[in-house]
Structure 1
Amino acid sequence: MTIGNSNLLGIARDLSSPSPEAREEASERICDWVHSFDRREVRVVAALLSSAAAEEPERDCRESELNALSELTASGLVEADDLAPLRELRRDLLTEPDAEHYDYLVGEYF
């Protein structure tokens, strides 16, 4: 299955939006479509989510991004390189829900 280039570009646009609502909605859409991505789309979306989470100033958005990333890893298609931006996150500054997602991802991929 595949979501297609226009949907992939929409996710990229929304994850980089100045609007926290758009970024959170993109994360929710990723969770809804997690089983519809092909290999290339999974890797692109994982890299985008990792970068978004590493730079995210809003706690709720970061939690949504990390949650979507955790769900995306269930595809088995995510690779450690896709998650490299997460290395920039300081665990001691994460909220409890963020830290749970972060610990899972770090434990599985680093």
Structure 2
Amino acid sequence: MAIETFTWATQHGESPTLEYRTRESRFGGGYKQVVGDGPNNKEDAYPITHTGNTATALALMAFFDRHQGAKAFLWTTPLGQLGLFTCKNPAPTPMGGGVFKVTATFERAFHP
């Protein structure tokens, strides 16, 4: 199966979470050695929101259901970087009048 691309427009307002995993060894005299933890040590997550009608919310939830929180999909970050992401926590919230707000957090994924 081909990797799907998340193409719906999203509202960006919250800051992403960025962290570099490192390993650290401390020695006497205040000396320490720090190295990156593996070749893909950057962890980033992006909170997203999409507001639309019921049909769009159902299409979004079907997309997330197909990926089941574990299968990666392609998405372009707010800085324009295409990457692989997963989503474990989508939440459709009814806003009234057939409008739904779908919120989720996209976490960076890597191919083995």
TM-score by length of 1: 0.30
* Structure in which a larger fraction of residues adopt strand: 2
